[in-house]
Structure 1
Amino acid sequence: MRTDHQPVRIALFAPDGRMGRAIQSAIAEDPTFALDNDNGDVLVDFSSPDALRSSLDRAVSAGVPLLIGTTGLIDEHDALIAEAARIVPILKAPNTSVGVALLADLTERAARILGPDKWDIEIVEAHHNRKADAPSGTALHLGAAAERGRGGTSPVERGRDGTGLKREAGAIGYSAIRGGTVAGDHDVMFLGPDERLILSHRAENRAIFARGALAAARFLRGRPAGLYSMRDVIDAA
């Protein structure tokens, strides 16, 4: 049995991807982690939705925890994750930044206090020009936090275009910007009568996601089977 004094061995499902390379760099700078793609304590997957079943099968057959940082997942993927989480611990995180985890917590609190009768919610996100999904998984994650704060399901408005548009009461709006090399910007805007509250996060370097992934991996080692989130990571800090 491994102890907390031994490095957490990380196995990367997609070591040659952008996040895979970023995590390898973070491991090289932190002696409390080691890269071991054959016998890792935790499997980390930042690949693609099409590869999810393979990473789940690998984690279940090896009996190791799995960190899923892949975005663009749909209900079918969530069902597969829930089934596998009955066997091994799984942490699903559309964004592994610790700052974004705190932003989601603040968003939920703000939505609980600022009711839909007077306050509208708009989520604006910007990413690099090669990002394939929109709105970003992080934006949808923040929207889900806002819904929890309001205690129910809110209407969604995406990609408005045209004339004669009218905002639906209580809706959560999403806007996506794509261009350049933006690592990830997110604004949660609470727009009320004569005032605005804007909660923001700016990712300046992909390294923040790698460091957050390592924090999540450390959290996962030794956990019982179940489905976890980055909120569990910051709550345990």
Structure 2
Amino acid sequence: MLLLCIDTSIRGCSVAVQNDSGLLASYDLFTDKSSSAMLTTLMRDAVEHAGFKLADIDAIVVAKGPGSYTGLRVGVSTAKGLCYALDKPLIAINTLQAMALQLAPYYPGHLLCPMIDARRMEVYSAVFDDNNAFVQETQAVILTESSFEDLLANHRVVFFGDGAAKCKPVLEKHANAVFPAIDIKPSAKTVALLGALAFANAQFEDVAAFEPYYLKDFMSPAPRKASTLVQ
């Protein structure tokens, strides 16, 4: 098994190469610019650093979202293009589930709530236990003081990701709310771990039909109204 793994859920990109022995190579580039410009270069460098060629890859693994509309579109279209060009299967992984896997070893007995920033006081989130099983499914949440109150009543909950910055002022006074100081971003490294499990179980996508998990329809800014000319 040799997997090329891609995560472009937020601005920037993350790439990893994984085989049966573990992680062989990874690159992360998080900037304010779009991921599209550097993604191809990072993929090539990661595969070469691992000692292989693209033709050696057995499957392409992509973080399907939720996240940035533009970022997801770039990542998924790139992954699908590679699948067509190399005649390889496609594996798609929930971005939030892969994020939760980053912190699970460090917070035994806690619930994990990765958050990706959406608009205004809204985040994309899900909740997982420390075995990476869903406790609360992926959803768009408008943050209020009552958000997650049912879980916080009985569990320590770790909130992290770029959306947690909006959550902290609202929930940080709750005794069971935990906000790590470290900045956790989506990473192809944990996408790769989940991808390896999916590959072993032949959980492949229909390449032609597959679309990113946007969760919400894309909304472009409202066009400006044309000024009225006084006759």
Give TM-score, length-normalised by structure 2. 0.39
* More helix, by proportion: 1
